[in-house]
Amino acid sequence: MKLIQQAPSLSAYLAESEAIDHGHPLVRETAGRLGVGDSDAYTYASAAFAYVRDEIPHSMDTGDPRVTWRASAVLAARTGICYAKSHALAALLRAGGVHAGLCYQRLVGGGGADLVVHGLVAVRLPGWERWVRQDPRGNVGGIDARFSSGEERLACVPRPEFNEMDYPVVYDVPHPAALHALQSSRDGEELARNLPASL
């Protein structure tokens, strides 16, 4: 699938926003610990991905009721759903000068019945001519998502027979439906009810 860049300028994918607050001291400090400036862009991006995937549990996997959405809050609380974890990874990447955007899939939810939108990050490193999606949700239950510069190693591959799909757009800021679900939910239980079924 060819990914479509929503913002015409690549510089939009380095910009700071309300959710991707990479100027925040905690984001900068975390980027420093992960080797920003001390390693090449690929090595840094891979380390940032592994950190968010492995060190920030998916709140629905752990039953954590807290809802985070701003990147700095995700890093501080060390919890979040896929959207929030994607915001954190995008912020860390942008803090390191790596172009990062947000993209989405529609998948059957954990209960097996309802469709929900799942959040990913798209990365475009220096010298890359294309975006490559990464999935920092967390490897549990047989999931084996990995940082990749070639073939995507995502948590899920959509199954058309279940009405699942990939959305091809790479957004420079969170999609309003995803952000609204996070910002309007008081706890994890409410968030589970508010997750969008489509974009």
CB 90 within 8 A of CB 121: yes
Please give the chain's pLDDT, 199 residues, in tens.
899 999 999 999 999 999 999 999 999 999 999 998 888 999 999 999 999 999 999 999 999 999 999 999 999 999 999 999 999 999 999 999 999 999 999 999 766 668 999 999 999 998 888 999 999 999 888 889 999 988 899 999 999 999 999 999 999 999 999 999 999 999 999 999 999 999 9
Cβ of 124: how many Cβ atoms within 10 Å?
A: 20
CB 173 within 8 A of CB 70: no
Listed in sequence order, the residues at least 6 apart from 186 whose beta carbon sits closer than 8 Å to its beta carbon are: 67
CA distance 44 to 189: 35
Q: How many CB atoms lie within 10 A of CB 50?
A: 14
CA distance linking residue 186 with residue 189, whole number of Å: 8
Among 171, 187, 181, 123, CA closest to 150: 123
Query: 82-95 and 25-33 helices cross at what angle (nearest 10)?
Result: 70
What is the spatial distance between Cα 45 and Cα 93, in angstroms, rounded to a whole number? 6
Distance CA 191, CA 81 (A): 9
CB 56 within 8 A of CB 80: yes
Whole-structure pTM over 0.85, yes or no?
A: yes
Q: How far apart are CA 182 and CA 177, in angstroms?
A: 9
Determine the Cα–Cα distance for residues 102 and 117; give it in Å rounded to an integer. Answer: 12
CA distance linking residue 113 with residue 133, whole number of Å? 26
